Amino acid sequence: MAAKWIEALTGSLEQKKQYKQDKARIDGLPEPYATAAKAMHRYFMYFGGITDGETLMRMFTDLADLWERAAVDGTPVSDIVGDDPVDFAETFAQSYGGKHWIDKERTRLIKDIDDAKRGEQR
């Protein structure tokens, strides 16, 4: 009972646990993979804008998987991200659906413009 009340205020406790596990996986990577993974993680916190916790957790789990696999295989960071790390990171993040913070504002903009158009037709 208390867990449901707490989750109503703070979000899913299971997702918070998963986030901490994925973050620990990223923090535990050897160099240079840790630096690359942490940089992408930080960028996603600003760029991604995903508000759906389940989607966000899937993305961070996949990020940890990607860099762990690269470390095991010895794949160079440049082979993963290519010449444009911003493009790589944004393409990676955009491949995950889910709700984004801007979705609410897009809906609001469309509604307000439609209301304005209806006001013109009087």
Q: In the chain, which residues have pLDDT < 70?
A: 1-11, 48-49, 51, 98-101, 122
The pLDDT value given to residue 97: 73
The pLDDT value given to residue 54: 84
The pLDDT value given to residue 85: 96
The pLDDT value given to residue 83: 96
Domains of the chain in start order, with CATH, are 2-120 (1.10.1900.10)
> What distance in Å separates the CA atoms of residue 61 and residue 6, rounded to the nearest whole number?
24
Handedness of CA 109, 10, 94, 40 (dihedral sign): positive
The pLDDT value given to residue 98: 64
The DSSP annotation for 92-121 comes to HHHTS-S-BHHHHHHHHHHHHHHHHHHHHT
The pLDDT value given to residue 86: 93
The pLDDT value given to residue 22: 96
